Amino acid sequence: MNRDQYSHKEDKYVWENILILAGIVLGTILLAYFIVIPNLFTFINWFVPNFWSIFGYIIILWIAYKILSFIWFPVYSILGKWSYLILLATLIYIFMQIA
């Protein structure tokens, strides 16, 4: 597209799109800063003392398992079942350091 075919009306729409995108980004940041993060802290302050039971431990262990299995997936996909030897060696090393 050369300069003669370029419409100056398209230039106006580019700036409108940039302003809309900036508004969405700024709105998301402000929403997270003023609403989501304070409510998250309030929820955590309520959740930890009221939910610290055997059910809470199970959920925390399940979340940790999901996060660690997501991180471990590339190693497992490369090494297959042999990758469990790394975990076993790590556990043995930790137990030997404790004892």
Buried b or exposed e, range 77-95, using 16+ CB within 10 angstroms: eeeeeebeeeeeeeeeeee
Largest CA distance in the chain: 80
Shared domain for 46 and 76, answered yes or no, is no
CB count, 10 Å around CB of 56? 13
1 shares its domain with 45: yes
Tokens of 90: 């790590």
Residues 14 and 40 in one domain: yes
Together in a domain, 3 and 38: yes
The residues near 68 (Cβ < 8 Å, ≥ 6 apart) are: none
69-86 residue pLDDT tens: 888 788 778 888 888 888
Check if the beta carbon of residue 83 is closer than 8 Å to that of residue 72.
Answer: yes
User: Each residue of 24-63: pLDDT tens digit?
Assistant: 889 888 888 888 888 878 877 877 777 777 677 777 778 8
- The domain tally of the chain equals 2
Q: Are residues 12 and 36 in the same domain?
A: yes
* pLDDT score, position 4: 60
Helix (H, G, I), strand (E, B) or coil at 72: helix
Query: Which residue range forms the structural domain that includes residue 7?
Result: 1-50
Q: Are residues 21 and 64 in the same domain?
A: no
